[in-house]
Structure 1
Amino acid sequence: MACNSSGCQSGCYKNEFEQEQQNSNSNSKPSTTRSGYNICVKCKSNEALTGSGTGDDGRFCGDCFRSNLYGKFRLAVSTHALITPADKVLVAFSGGPASRVALQFVHEKQQMAQKNYDASRDGSLPVFGVGVAFIDESAYCAISSDEVDETIQKIRSIVSHLAPPAKDLHVVSIESTFSLDALDAREKFKKLLDSVGDATGKEDLLMHLRMLTLQKIASENGYNRVVLGLCTSRIACHVISATVKGQGYSLPADIQYVDARWEIPVVLPLRGCIAQELNMLCHLDGLETLELLNGPSTGINGLVSSFLKLLQEENPSRECTIVRTAGKLTPFHFNRIPELNDSNVPLASQRRQKRFNLKCNETISSESFCPLCYSPLNPSDLNSLSNYKSSQSSDAFGAACCSSCRFQIFPKDPSLVEQFYSLLPEPMVSRANYGSNGHFSALRKRVQDCLLSDNEDET
């Protein structure tokens, strides 16, 4: 279909790419009328929003601001094939502005897909499915059951009030990863967190358990994508904190649009949006947000978050600069955009994938991951692992972990390591065993041509 207006919705590659370039490169200030009001730089007719100047809210009117923000989401989804018609995606929902906008934008894209399906004669483009996951972390936050029930009811109301197609809501407690009955799992979860003395390590372990829970929900309910609402602001915090924690080697793995090292790939469609823009959109559209049940960040994570807020006040582009700089790091092979030959994937998306395909680091085996945080292991970590042929002990498990996890999460007292190991959920323990075997299998495969078979003579 030829493009004949600025409102073209045909998925034209050229127009969307040019629009994205125009949005990202436009740094002009709003023009001013005779009466002193700022005018939107896009429509040139409506009054620009009065914002703090840290995002596009100070350059666009309300309608253009929303259109521009949704355009970033839509371009990321189509360029990197984050959501295709045959997918079934699970949106991680915490109730904050970022996850609320992620849910709203995924919902709107699903509505558009439904309209296209209804308008087509043969129904050739299926409508992707959407589910919503809320992880109950009240076992860690120590809040009353009444507050938890009230929060869950609000989330059910938010999801149920979205227009069709209907979306399944999964409310799962974070301790469910232990595969025990509710009381035993809750008690074991508390003991595990109490065994970590470092505040930063405790927060990091909680984040890893949260991802395990999301993967469990997605796997058990047939989802093939997990959508996170991580935005530029959150990723900028992670870049600084990961550098401070000594996770620079694995940092490129966490900041890409696609993270396929997990059984169910994780995608970040809001990677190009800053937190201030998402807050503004929730305010403009009246999107209900919830007070997060988890407490404020402490330790390194809290310090970095406060530090970046100060930087952002001094220079509104600091967060974007940090993420763009980190984006120059070479990603891993599991961040590569897979080649699509599916007839359900629009041709424009396939062209964009070829244009934006990443140059990845192919020097690491996909099995060489830390069993705690699942970050890629660097050569020095693999050297410590090579002394163990099995991961069925606390010492071997510690050797299989990255240096950051050994420092931040593992107990400092050697006598407590065995107890810590016994409290870990089974997926983490089995992952260590698989990772160790996988590493040696990959090593053997590399030198297979140099090995003698059992029936060959040494001649």
Structure 2
Amino acid sequence: MACNSSGCESGGCYGREKDNGRKAVDVTLCVKCKCNEPMTFGDGGSDDGRFCAECFRSNVYGKFRLAVTSHAMITPSDNVLVAFSGGSSSRVALQFVHELQVKALKNYEASRDRSLPVFGVGVAFVDESAAYPALDGGMSDAIAWVRSTVLSLSPPGKDLHVVPIESVFGSDSVEARDRLVKLLDSVSDETGKEDLLLHLKMLSLQKVASENGYNRLVVGSCTSRLASHVLTATVKGRGYSLSADIQHVDARWKVPIVLPLRDCVWQEITRLCHLDGLKTVELARHPQSGINDLVSSFVALLQEENPSRECTIVRTAAKLTPFYFNKIPETDDSCVPMATQRRLKKFNLKYDGSMTTEAFCPICNCPLNGSDSSEDESDALYAACCSSCRFQILPQDGSSLEQFGSLLPHHMISQVKHHQKVDSQTYLREKIKDCLLLDDEEAV
């Protein structure tokens, strides 16, 4: 295959030289620094034989840093909570946030005016053993490993919050644990049970963040995970809310969620863990048999055939118009570095004001549109949920639905009441619309 650039990825010209009118370049060297020998990972990835170890790490960290600065994810005045599961993505997210904090501290100590403070960092680990009894045996060891990992990070120190998932019910007592088990047992669909548990986990993280003064929640979701989510959301009928879940920022929550690794694929992240010696732990949950696992396996197969498939899926979905909450709320720019302000203007997403919504599904927190409204208003919970949750999570008979509602955490119940309030206001406005003055009209 003929080469036409110094970044040839054909794989068929290693060990030779090429000349396209400029100085011949040794393609056995790193395509970025042109000095060091490139690495060969042996897994057939697109970066095989391209980057040396130093440039590979710099490339991955550069994606993280660009996402953070382009979307104002972390500013000097913030207090950031990193969601840490022990897997490779969350481990890299924690490491990169830590390095960002260390650099900010060095700049602060070296500056004369000390005008910009250094953002704080905390770590949260959710104990899911109440939902997965099989985890009970190894959970204590996993928590001990998480503590040692956080303590091993160089100063500044970071608070660790170990949160039982049943704490969403207000406590981590035996009663709360039993309530969680009953709630999950009432969901017959395996995929629906997984989705409900995922939302309860997010509520646990939100509870920790709000109670401890954090104003950002860093989640290590990467391109690979989001690619699977794009397909599962489409299959489940959540196309309307899809654009809300795959942006860099999600501020529909009380504590905004940010995804600084959104542009990194899982393959890159696992390689980085290997290069830097970042240890991870994967808790052995029971095998999943729902839509989520099926789609993840399918996307992994696509990625093996073509290493750019996951990126293509996410880039295509990202063309959807984001919601008004897919950006950090407007704040005082005095604490935002000028470089970040310039990138915010450059990468500013185009938002459609007509897409604003006041109603969210109390189960999955997805924004609702008109097609989600139910003609059956006999049950407030059923009427407040999206069509996907009605089909996969909610019991179909009235008595079971009432019992299911009684087991929900207070936050979900309050969402139902809010939905009722919004619906009643909309209904009242519709009834009296002929008596209302428009903005451009004046009373006679």
Q: 1:452 to 1:328 in 2, by over 3 A?
A: closer
Which residue of 2 is the match for residue 322 of structure 1?
Answer: 313
Contact residue 365 and residue 439 of structure 1 kept, 8 A: no
Which residue of 2 is the match for residue 209 of structure 1?
Answer: 200
Which residue of 1 is the match for residue 399 of structure 2?
Answer: 415
Which residue of 2 is the match for residue 33 of structure 1?
Answer: 15
State the distance in 2 between where 1:341 and 1:447 align.
Answer: 41
Q: 1:451 to 1:356 in 2, by over 3 A?
A: farther
Which residue of 2 is the match for residue 430 of structure 1?
Answer: 414
Tell me the amino acid that sits aligned with residue 247 of structure 2: Q
Q: 1:340 to 1:415 in 2, by over 3 A?
A: closer
* Further displaced range: 290-299 or 222-231: 290-299
Which residue of 2 is the match for residue 170 of structure 1?
Answer: 161
Tell me the amino acid that sits aligned with residue 81 of structure 2: L
Which residue of 1 is the match for residue 186 of structure 2?
Answer: 195
State the distance in 2 between where 1:451 and 1:81 align.
Answer: 44
Matches within 5 A, 1:38-187: 38-51=28-41, 52-56=43-47, 58-143=49-134, 145-180=136-171, 182-187=173-178
Matches within 5 A, 1:270-419: 270-339=261-330, 341-382=332-373, 384=374, 395-419=379-403
Tell me the amino acid that sits aligned with residue 396 of structure 1: A
- How far did 1:32 drift? 2.6
State the distance in 2 between where 1:262 and 1:137 align.
Answer: 21
State the distance in 2 between where 1:378 and 1:58 align.
Answer: 48
State the distance in 2 between where 1:406 and 1:285 align.
Answer: 45
Q: 1:181 to 1:349 in 2, by over 3 A?
A: closer
1:256 to 231, 243, 247: 247
SS of the residue aligned with 1:32? coil
* Further displaced range: 287-296 or 267-276: 287-296
Q: Deviations over 1:369-390 (max 9, x none)?
A: 10110001011113x27x75xx
State the distance in 1 between where 2:369 and 2:433 align.
Answer: 25
Contact residue 29 and residue 41 of structure 1 kept, 8 A: no
Tell me the amino acid that sits aligned with residue 418 of structure 1: E
SS of the residue aligned with 2:196? helix
- How far did 1:293 drift? 4.6
State the distance in 1 between where 2:428 and 2:180 align.
Answer: 38
- How far did 1:28 drift? 4.2
Could you list the runs of 5+ residues in structure 2 that have no partner in the other structure? 1-5, 18-25, 438-442
Tell me the amino acid that sits aligned with residue 417 of structure 1: L
The percent identity for this pair of structures is: 61
- How far did 1:352 drift? 1.2
1:269 to 233, 254, 260: 260
Q: TM-score, normalised by structure 2?
A: 0.90
- How far did 1:251 drift? 0.2
SS of the residue aligned with 2:232? helix
SS of the residue aligned with 1:376? coil
Could you list the runs of 5+ residues in structure 1 that have no partner in the other structure? 1-24
Contact residue 141 and residue 293 of structure 1 kept, 8 A: no
* Further displaced range: 171-180 or 225-234: 171-180
Tell me the amino acid that sits aligned with residue 32 of structure 1: Y
* Further displaced range: 349-358 or 46-55: 46-55
Which residue of 1 is the match for residue 228 of structure 2?
Answer: 237
State the distance in 1 between where 2:267 and 2:161 align.
Answer: 28
SS of the residue aligned with 1:76? helix
State the distance in 1 between where 2:158 and 2:88 align.
Answer: 19
State the distance in 2 between where 1:110 and 1:84 align.
Answer: 10
- How far did 1:421 drift? 1.0
Tell me the amino acid that sits aligned with residue 61 of structure 2: Y
State the distance in 1 between where 2:315 and 2:88 align.
Answer: 23
State the distance in 2 between where 1:296 and 1:151 align.
Answer: 19
Contact residue 71 and residue 327 of structure 2 kept, 8 A: no
SS of the residue aligned with 1:138? coil
**Structure 1 outlier segments of 4+, above 6 Å:** 442-449
State the distance in 1 between where 2:244 and 2:206 align.
Answer: 17
State the distance in 2 between where 1:302 and 1:97 align.
Answer: 18
State the distance in 1 between where 2:272 and 2:128 align.
Answer: 27
Tell me the amino acid that sits aligned with residue 429 of structure 1: I
SS of the residue aligned with 2:299? helix
